[in-house]
A = this chain, B = another copy of it.
Amino acid sequence: MNETSQLGFALLGLLHQQPMSGYDLRKVFTTTAMAGFSDSPGAIYPALNRLAKGGLVRGAVEKTGSLRTRRVFANTPAGTAALKAWLELPVTRQDVVRGVDLLLLRFAFMDQTLGPVQSTRFLKEFVAAIESYIAELRQFHNLYGNSMPTSGRLAFECGLQQNASYLKWAQSSIAVYQKRKGTK
């Protein structure tokens, strides 16, 4: 019934790292350009209020002698649970087709929330999904590549190359976790 938006999950993920105000969250979006989220107050404050209404975050007015209001938000246990559930979702083909950015965002939060074992599982699912997608793209390219206009074909090949790059990254990231496991 109470669906949380992509932005909502991004906020939950950031608040899991440390409690922050809406303004702080905005700054994160302006400075780091996370997954292309907007830093507009018209997006963030309503999103925070929705989360608060759904009981996923709790905002406390900070009182440091200053009159200036500043609401610091933190995840509630329900919020943390919602975040975890989101992070634990399997990697679907749709996720890969419609924007890897969101998957990367999930992965970025994963280590601190679910730990290295789950992060590795995620990467392996990601590898499988990307591999099958690449195969599909290659097939399409073989069939229609010649009939495409030059820039169209090049743009398509860019997509292919990007996915190959994702694959390489995921594989080397799995290796990072493997090595870390060994040294611990």
Contact = CB atoms under 8 A, between A and B. Distances in A.
A130 to B, nearest CB: 12
Copies of this chain, tallied across the complex: 2
Nearest to A159: B104
Contact of A158 (B98, B155, B166, B177): B166
Contacts of A177: 150
Is chain A's binding surface mostly helix, strand, loop or mixed? helix
Given A111-B151, A151-B108, A155-B107, A36 B165 contact: no
A149 B36 contact: no
A71 to B, nearest CB: 25
Contacts of A161: 165, 168-169
A129 interface: no
Interface of A: 32-33, 36, 97-99, 101, 104-105, 107-112, 116, 119, 140, 149-152, 154-159, 161-162, 165-166, 168-169, 173, 176-177, 180
Given A157-B169, A158-B173, A161-B165, 9 more contacts: A36-B97, A104-B155, A104-B158, A104-B159, A107-B155, A109-B152, A110-B151, A119-B151, A165-B165
